[in-house]
Amino acid sequence: MPVLDEATTFLRQQYLFVRQQFRHLQAGLNYLSGRPLPDTRFVLFGRGRSGTTALVSMLDDVPGLRCEGEVLHDYVPFPRRHVLGRTARCSAEAYGCKILSYQIEDVQRPPGRHEDFLHTLHHDHGFHILYLRRTHLLRHALSNIWARQDTFHRKKSAPDTEPTAPRVAPEHVIEWMERAEALREYEATLLKGVPHLSLTYEEHIRHDKAHQPTVDMICDFLNIDSVPVESSYRKTAPSALRERVANYEALARRLRGTPYAEYLD
């Protein structure tokens, strides 16, 4: 079975790569065709496990607005042209897509300086920038670790099952938080000189009651009409960290005395 699983994973990866390159070809043709871009266009920029998927779901429910997911998840030769081509093929009045910071840093190789990627999209091509981040480093790290085993967020149509709290390696958690801090600094360089709407998971995504005001604020920022929306994702993670981690006390002992102790319950 492990061999079969490995073969299935390999074939899936190859399929996704080929699909991405086909979409890149389509995007390139759209870019070269000179088709006009939608009047309103934006990038939802941030980091994985920060509420970006839920926000894409909500924004995509707004009439006249098409919001895509991670258009730069896999390598493409011309990432900026890929974004422009994906935008050009959209027939809606407003178009947005999600781009994660690690994709600009590690996956893509845009011509020129990486740091100019968002700057060029905004200043040269009229893209608005929405920046969504997660401020609680420990919860963010645990969310990333858990996502590689199961998920604390599921489609609302999925069967109701109780997630099992995982055991975590404290050093692994610290590595995730250190990586998050490094990405936060990198994101600051990408956003330097780029006007943007700043959002946080904790204030704008975590609680259901914040969803509609968040969408209203974004629509106002984009100068489009808002409507009542509802995320198709539901949060299933317990709120207390002690319930999220099977060996919470061991994790707490390791973090005490470090800058990350402030994130403990």
234: alpha, beta or left? (left if phi > 0; alpha if psi -120 to 50): beta
pLDDT in tens, 181-220: 999 999 999 999 999 999 999 999 999 999 999 999 999 9
With bands split at pLDDT 50, 70 and 90, how would you rate the model's confidence at 237? low
Structure tokens at 200: 């946080």
Sign of the four-CA dihedral 105, 108, 109, 113: negative
Structure letter (DSSP) for residue 208: G
Domains identified in the chain, total number: 1
- Contact yes or no for 52/83 (Cβ under 8 A): no
* pLDDT higher than threshold 80 for residue 11: yes
pLDDT attached to residue 154: 46
Sheet strands side by side (includes 40-46)? 65-70, 94-100, 40-46, 128-133, 197-200
Chain segment 31-75, per-residue pLDDT in tens: 788 889 999 999 999 999 999 999 999 999 999 999 999 999 989
DSSP state of 257: T
pLDDT for 141 equals 96
Residues 6+ apart with CB under 8 A from 190: 45, 101, 104, 114, 115, 117, 118, 119
Beta bridge partners of 131: 45, 198
- Non-local CB neighbours of 59 within 8 Å, separated by 6+ positions: 44, 65, 67, 96, 215, 218, 229
Residue 195's φ and ψ, nearest 5 degrees, are -60, 140
Residue pair 44/99 in contact by the 8 Å Cβ criterion:
yes
CA angle 71, 186, 216 (to 5 degrees): 55
User: Phi and psi at residue 101, in whole multiples of 5°?
Assistant: -60, -40
Distance CA 204, CA 198 (A): 10
Domain with residue 198: its CATH number is 3.40.50
Give whole-number Cα distances, 182 to 55, 79, 152, 177, 186, in Å: 24, 23, 25, 9, 6
pLDDT in tens, 92-145: 999 999 999 999 999 998 888 889 999 999 999 999 999 999 999 999 999 999
Q: Helices 2-33 and 79-88 meet at what angle, rounded to 10? A: 70
Give the Cα separation of 258 and 154 in Å (integer).
33
Q: What is the pLDDT of residues 69-78, one digit of tens each?
A: 999 998 988 9
Q: Which domain holds residue 83?
A: 2-263
